[in-house]
Amino acid sequence: MRASMQKRLGACAEHVKTMTREEKLHWALDLKDQANQSYASSKFEEAAQLYNDCLVGLDFDGDDAQNSEVATKLQLPICTNLAACLIEWTKQEALHRLTQLHPRMGKHEECVDMCNIALSVDPHAPKAAGATVCGPSSSLVLANGARHNLAPHAAAIEAQILKAADHVDPTVRYDEEWFEGHCDLSEFSQDMLFLGPEFRLSKRPTVDAHRWHPGYKCTEDGAGRAPEFVEISEEFQCAERCWETARKVPGTVVCCEHHQDKSRCEVRVGWQSMQESDYGKNKLNPANWALFGRHQKKARLFFSPPSTHENHRYVPQFESEEVRQAESGKQHVRELARQVNHLSIDGILDHMLSFYVCMRFLPDKDFMDLAKYELERVAVDQDTPVAGHDVSREEIYQEFKNAHLFPLRCGRSMHVQDIEAIDQLVQTLNDSSSLLNEAYRFSVNVTEKAGKSLHEMDKEMRLNESDPERPDSIYVQDMRWTARQSLPWSTFLRPSKHYEHHVSRHPKNLFMLCFGPRVASYPHKRENGEHILADMNTAGCNGFWDLEEVIRHMDRIKKLFAPEMCFEFKLRKELKLKFMQTFVEMNQQFEASMTGNYFTQVHEMDNTGSTRLELLSDRSNLSTKAINFMDSRKVQQKYDRFSQLMAKAHSKWVICGAHDQVGPEAFGTEDNFFRNPTAYDKWLGSIADENMMECKTLDETTGCVKCAIAVKDEHGCRIRLDVKLKDIYQAASGAAYPFLQSDYKVHEEVTDETGHKDMVTRNKKGLCMVRKNPTSMRAAIRDSRHLSEAERKAAAAKAFFHVSKDDQVVMLESLDELNNRIEGNSGKPVVSDYRYTIEERQEEKLKFEENATGEVLEEDFRILADALGATKYTDSLKDFPQKFVFTDQIRQDQNRPAHRVDYIVSCPCSPGDFSLLNYFQEVGSQGMSEYYNR
Report the 3 state secondary structure along 849-873. HHHCCCCCCCCHHHHHHHHCCCCEE
Task: Please name the helix (run of DSSP H) or strand (run of DSSP E) that holds residue 906, with its range, or none.
Answer: strand 899-906
Q: Where are the beta strands (DSSP E) in 306-383?
A: 354-360
The Cα-based distances of 51 to 81, 325, 587, 783, 932 in angstroms read 8, 53, 65, 68, 60
Q: Can you give the CATH number for the domain in which 276 is found?
A: 3.50.4.10
Greatest mean pLDDT range, 434-443, 625-634, 729-738? 434-443
Of 374, 398, 369, whose CA–CA distance to 387 is shortest? 374
Taking the C-alpha atoms of residue 466 and residue 134, their distance in angstroms, rounded to an integer, is 26
Clarify whether residues 394 and 441 are in a common domain.
yes
Instruction: Read off φ and ψ for residue 315, nearest 5 degrees.
Output: -115, 105
User: Distance between CA 619 and CA 637 in Å, rounded?
Assistant: 31
For the stretch 366-410, pLDDT in tens is: 999 999 999 999 999 999 999 989 999 999 999 999 999 989 999
Lowest-pLDDT range of 139-153, 232-246, 447-461: 139-153
Higher pLDDT, 486 or 175: 486
Nearest CA to 253 among 216, 278, 221? 221
| Across 198-227, average pLDDT | 87
Cα atoms in the 13 Å half-sphere on the side-chain side of 273: 27
Tell me the pLDDT band of 654, cut-offs 50, 70 and 90: confident
CA distance 666 to 892: 10
State whether residue 835 is helix, strand or coil: strand
Whether residues 160 and 87 fall in one domain: yes
**Which residue in 774, 784, 803 sits closest to 885, CA to CA?**
803
d(CA 669, CA 33): 42
- Band of residue 866 on the pLDDT scale cut at 50, 70, 90: low
Burial of 846 (0-12, 13-18, 19+ CB in 10 A): exposed
pLDDT at 323 over 50: no
Same domain, 66 and 112: yes
Is the model's pLDDT at 830 over the cut of 70? yes
The closest of 256, 161, 159, 150 to 200, measured between CA atoms, is 256
Of 147, 165, 183, which closes a domain? 165
Which residues on neighbouring strands pair with residue 183, listed in sequence order?
Answer: 658
Q: Is 393 in the same domain as 260?
A: no
Mean predicted lDDT score pLDDT of the chain = 78
In a domain, residue 791? The reply is no
> Is position 188 within any domain?
no
CB 387 within 8 A of CB 395: yes
Domain of 140: which CATH number? 1.25.40
pLDDT tens by residue, 868-927: 556 889 888 888 999 999 999 999 988 889 999 999 999 999 999 999 999 999 999 999
**CB 232 within 8 Å of CB 241:** yes
Residues 209 and 296 in one domain: yes
Q: Examine the domain organization and report whether 729 and 840 are in the same domain.
A: yes
Strands (E), 635-704: 657-658, 694-698
Last residue of a domain, one of 269, 303, 337: 303
Higher pLDDT, 42 or 342: 342
pLDDT for res 291: 75
- Confidence tier at 327 by pLDDT (50, 70, 90): very low
State which of 66-70, 95-99, 575-579 shows the largest mean pLDDT: 575-579
Cite the beta strand spans of 397-510 per DSSP E.
406-410, 414-415, 489-493
Query: Which pLDDT belongs to residue 108?
Result: 39
Task: For residue 350, tell me if it sits in a domain.
Answer: no
Same domain, 65 and 202: no
Percent of the chain with pLDDT over 70: 73
**Residue 317 predicted with pLDDT over 60:** no
- Residue 365, domain member (yes or no): no
Least confident of 80-84, 780-784, 793-797: 80-84
Q: Is the dihedral of CA 600, 606, 610, 612 positive or negative?
A: negative
Identity of the residue numbered 927: G
What integer is the mean pLDDT of 521-546? Answer: 92
> Which pLDDT score is estimated for 628?
76
More confident: 173 or 438: 438
Residue 136 has pLDDT above 60, yes or no: no
Residues 249, 115 share a domain? no
CB atoms within 10 A of CB 262: 13
> DSSP characters for 109-139?
HHHHHHHHHHHHHSTTS-HHHHHHHH-S---
- Would you say 760 and 748 are in contact if contact means Cβ atoms under 8 Å apart? yes
Q: Considering the chain, what percentage of its residues have pLDDT values greater than 90?
A: 37
3-class secondary-structure state, position 808: strand
Structure confidence by residue, pLDDT tens digits, 676-693: 888 888 888 877 778 899
| Residue 263 near residue 231, CB atoms below 8 Å | yes
DSSP class of 536: B
Q: Of the given ranges (57-66, 208-217, 253-262, 771-780), which has the lowest mean pLDDT?
A: 57-66
Q: How many domains does the chain have?
A: 5
Q: Per the domain annotation, does 351 fall within a domain? A: no
Range of the domain at 595: 576-602+628-686
In a domain, residue 347? The reply is: no
pLDDT at 135 over 90: no
| Contact status, residue 242 vs residue 212, Cβ threshold 8 Å | no
Cα–Cα distance measured from residue 764 to residue 752, given in angstroms and rounded to the nearest whole number: 21
Q: Is residue 777 part of a domain?
A: no
Helix (H) or strand (E) holding 556: helix 547-560
Residue 879's contacts (CB-CB under 8 Å, 6 or more residues apart) are none
pLDDT at position 149 is 41
Determine the average pLDDT of the residues in 350-356: 94
Question: Which amino acid, 874?
Answer: T
Residues shown for the chain? 934
d(CA 725, CA 880): 8
798 falls within a domain:
no
Q: Last residue of some domain: 114, 149, 165? A: 165
Output b/e per residue, 104-136; b: 16+ Cβ within 10 A. Answer: bbebbebbbbbbbbbbbbeeebeeebbbebbee
Buried b (16+ CB within 10 A) or exposed e, 4-29: ebeeebeebeeebeeeeeeebbbbbb
Does the structure show a pLDDT above 90 at 820? no
DSSP E strands in 714-740: the ranges are 718-720
Residue 774: how many CB atoms within 10 A of its CB?
12
Determine the Cα–Cα distance for residues 666 and 653; give it in Å rounded to an integer: 17
What confidence score (pLDDT) does residue 754 get? 77
Grade residue 123 by pLDDT with cuts at 50, 70 and 90.
Answer: very low
- In the chain, the amino acid numbered 364 is D
Q: What is the DSSP string of 749-771?
A: EEE-TTS-EEEEEEEEEEEEEEE
Residue partners of 433: CB distance under 8 A and separation at least 6: 40
704 and 815 share a domain?
yes
Please state the rounded mean pLDDT for residues 79-97. Answer: 54
| Amino acid of residue 62 | G
Same domain, 594 and 520: no
CB 524 within 8 A of CB 534: yes
Contact assessment for residue 256 and residue 299, using Cβ atoms and an 8 Å cutoff: yes
Q: Let me know whether 515 and 556 are in one domain.
A: yes
In 183-275, which ranges are continuous DSSP H helix?
205-208, 235-248
**Contact 584/674 with Cβ under 8 angstroms?**
no
Better-predicted residue by pLDDT, 5 or 11: 11
Same domain, residue pair 665 and 740 = no
With 50 as the cut, is the pLDDT of residue 119 above it?
no
Give, rounded to a whole angstrom, the gap between the first and last alpha carbons of the chain: 81
pLDDT of residue 191: 46
Q: Is the dihedral of CA 840, 845, 851, 856 positive or negative?
A: positive
Region 192-198 average pLDDT: 75
Helix axes of 474-486 and 109-121: crossing angle, nearest 10 degrees = 130
Cβ atoms within 10 Å of 600's Cβ, excluding its own: 12
